[in-house]
Amino acid sequence: MADTDQTLDDILSRFPTGHSRDWPSRSNDNARIAETLLTKGIETIAKLAAMSVDAENENQTRAQFALHAVALHVSRDAGQQQRKTLAEGITRCLNENVTDNQRAMLIEQLRTGCASDATDLLAELLTDDALCDPAARALASFGTTEATTAIRDALSSSSGKRRTTLVQAAGELRDAGAAAEILKSVSDRDRDLRMVARWALANSGQSAVAPALDKAMESESAYEAGKTADAYLLVARRLIEAGKKPDALAIYRKLSAEKQPTHVRQAAMGGLLDVGGR
């Protein structure tokens, strides 16, 4: 029987029902199975996604393995049309009556498969306290202009844990367009938020964070001061990558002062040597 003639149950029978160590490491076979499932179309992927989150379905575990195999395949070897098939199939399931935990599991497969055609749906979930985190992580992994814009737009009206999540995602994307909004959080009362905000601006190479970093290194806990110094060093590296060597040298010189902790001074002096400063 040709692969394309097999039923979904026939295909799922080739996957394990237990621990992942029972899954044969035959990447060629898994790729062929993934191709077969994708060839069957959006309806099959939607059904597979629904089975993967249905605890009462006897093939749930097999469906989870199969859906993950499809996601891995499209992330590595497939074209945009197959990613679209994965995105549309999972999106149909996400729009059904499933729990937040089930939605989070499906969003993770969108992230794995780089299924950026689901951007619009994921953008809507950025306002959901329960689903903002998996949606933001998926969008950040896509790295597209549309995904970056979605996170930036959601950030302006965010608060609490959602804001921390979105600042983290914007930092991973190095979104300079979100810098002004993130800057509002560098001295926030919430330690997690202010630490993430400093890192996000540093990772984006935003020297505007420097005053807040200076203040934090002088007045806060040793742990936070150390993390702040790391952020400062990261700013310098990003500035060098952007061709802003004089700005980076100014940071390295500041951090090589005697009042700085030994490890910070050593890192700064190493940076000076690397870029030819003194």
CA 237, distance to chain mean position in Å, is: 22
> What is the DSSP secondary structure assignment for residue 186, as one 8-state letter?
T
Q: Give yes or no: residues 221 and 146 share one domain.
A: no
Phi then psi dihedrals of residue 228, to 5 deg: -65, -40
Decide if 232 is inside a domain. yes
Per-residue pLDDT, 184 = 94
Q: Give yes or no: residues 222 and 271 share one domain.
A: yes
Per-residue pLDDT, 80 = 84
Q: Give yes or no: residues 102 and 67 share one domain.
A: yes
- pTM here? 0.88
Q: Give yes or no: residues 59 and 95 share one domain.
A: yes
* C-beta separation of 43 from 86 below 8 A: no
Decide if 45 is inside a domain. yes
Largest CA distance in the chain: 75
Distance (Å, whole) CA 64 – CA 54: 10
For residue 120, give both structure tokens: 């619009």
Q: 227 CB contacts (<8 Å, ≥6 apart)?
A: 195, 198, 199
Q: Give yes or no: residues 11 and 90 share one domain.
A: yes
Count the neighbouring beta carbons within 10 Å of the beta carbon of residue 194. 21
* C-beta separation of 150 from 119 below 8 A: yes
Q: Give yes or no: residues 150 and 216 share one domain.
A: no
Whose structure tokens read 């160590």? 21
> What is the DSSP secondary structure assignment for residue 47, as one 8-state letter?
H
Amino acid at 3: D
Decide if 191 is inside a domain. no
Residue of 118, 122, 147 lying closest to 132 (CA atoms): 122
Decide if 16 is inside a domain. yes
Q: Give yes or no: residues 64 and 164 share one domain.
A: no
For residue 170, give both structure tokens: 């914007």
Q: Give yes or no: residues 20 and 76 share one domain.
A: yes
Q: Give yes or no: residues 43 and 107 share one domain.
A: yes
Angle between helix 262-275 and helix 245-255 axes, rounded to 10 deg? 150
Q: Give yes or no: residues 102 and 171 share one domain.
A: no
Decide if 58 is inside a domain. yes
Per-residue pLDDT, 121 = 95
Q: Coil, strand or helix: which one is 78?
A: coil
Count the neighbouring beta carbons within 10 Å of the beta carbon of residue 183. 18
Decide if 197 is inside a domain. no
Decide if 194 is inside a domain. no
Measured CA to CA in angstroms, residue 112 lies from 45, 71, 172, 215, 275 at distances of 15, 6, 16, 40, 38
For residue 195, give both structure tokens: 């630490």
Decide if 122 is inside a domain. no
Q: Give yes or no: residues 81 and 136 share one domain.
A: no
The tally of domains found in the chain comes to: 3
pLDDT tens for the 278 residues of the chain, in order: 445 568 888 888 888 776 555 555 555 678 888 999 999 999 999 999 999 999 999 999 999 999 999 999 999 866 789 999 999 999 999 988 899 999 999 999 999 999 999 999 999 999 999 999 999 999 999 999 999 999 999 999 999 999 999 999 999 999 999 999 999 999 899 999 999 999 999 999 988 888 888 888 776 678 888 888 889 899 999 999 999 998 899 899 988 887 777 888 898 899 888 887 55
* C-beta separation of 29 from 66 below 8 A: no
Per-residue pLDDT, 278 = 54
Count the neighbouring beta carbons within 10 Å of the beta carbon of residue 5. 8
For residue 178, give both structure tokens: 């979100």
Domain span including residue 61: 1-113
For residue 81, give both structure tokens: 């049309």
Q: Give yes or no: residues 153 and 243 share one domain.
A: no
* C-beta separation of 139 from 170 below 8 A: no
* C-beta separation of 121 from 68 below 8 A: no
